[in-house]
Amino acid sequence: MQYEFKGGVFPVVVCQLESGEKMITEKGSMVWMSPNMEMDTRGGGIGKMFSKAFSGESMFQNVYTARGAGMIAFGSSFPGRILPLEIGPGREYILQKTAFLASEDGVELSIHFNKKFGAGLFGGEGFIMQRLSGRGIAFVEVDGELVEYNLAPGQQIIVDTGNVLGFDSTVSIDIQQVKGIKNKILGGEGFFNTVLTGPGKIWLQTMPISGVAAAIQPFIPTGNG
């Protein structure tokens, strides 16, 4: 599979496939393709489908197979960029479950539940995330711009939860309360932040769709007047 990115703030990734090569997506992100791409929708077994339904994900995957040399493009749903990740042994990644765009068929997607009780209780997207394992190229949606950090063992960074795009499987995640009741109520930053602890690489996004939604919500008519 060969790929290239096109577009600006609404990017697409255009994939050129050899005959028999496959691409998968979970959220209908295909935007155009050659006529010889064959689509098949699959569930992946009752247990996997149940875990996906529990986490709020789609229970199905769309699999596109090239019947002869073919082309398929996947588009971002929000202004930003698309990040390619090479998945393989020792290169497993944890992502916000909304970040996955598409991948080669050899990439395995599974539910990742955070083991820390605090993160599970208060972490929102930080509780149920998505693990990418197996082998192949995966494409990830970035809301806004992308910022990368390499954390040393024990090194920490505090992040607003929505700005966490993903991280190496060696990085741990927890939730901490904003200190001080005045800061909680008047600070406008919410009650909790995400704490990421190294070692490993982390990816942060500058304009999460959740933050944009919260910013424009006061300007949306409620229908009461």
The C-alpha atoms of residue 179 and residue 64 are separated, in whole angstroms, by: 49
Domain contains 105: yes
Query: How many CA atoms lie less than 13 Å away from 137 in the CB half-sphere?
Result: 15
Domains held by the chain: number: 1
The C-alpha atoms of residue 57 and residue 152 are separated, in whole angstroms, by: 32
Looking up residue 41, the CATH number of its domain turns out to be 3.60.160.10
Mind listing the pLDDT tens digit for each residue in 182-209? 444 444 445 678 899 999 999 999 988 7
Domain contains 106: yes
Domain contains 101: yes
Domain contains 225: no
Mind listing the pLDDT tens digit for each residue in 129-161? 899 999 999 999 999 999 999 999 999 999 988
3-state SS, residue 152: coil
Which pLDDT score, from 0 to 100, does residue 161 have? 81
Domain contains 99: yes
Inform me whether the pLDDT recorded for 98 exceeds 50: yes
Q: Which residue shows structure tokens 């993160």? A: 119
Domain contains 171: yes
Domain containing 180 equals: 2-217
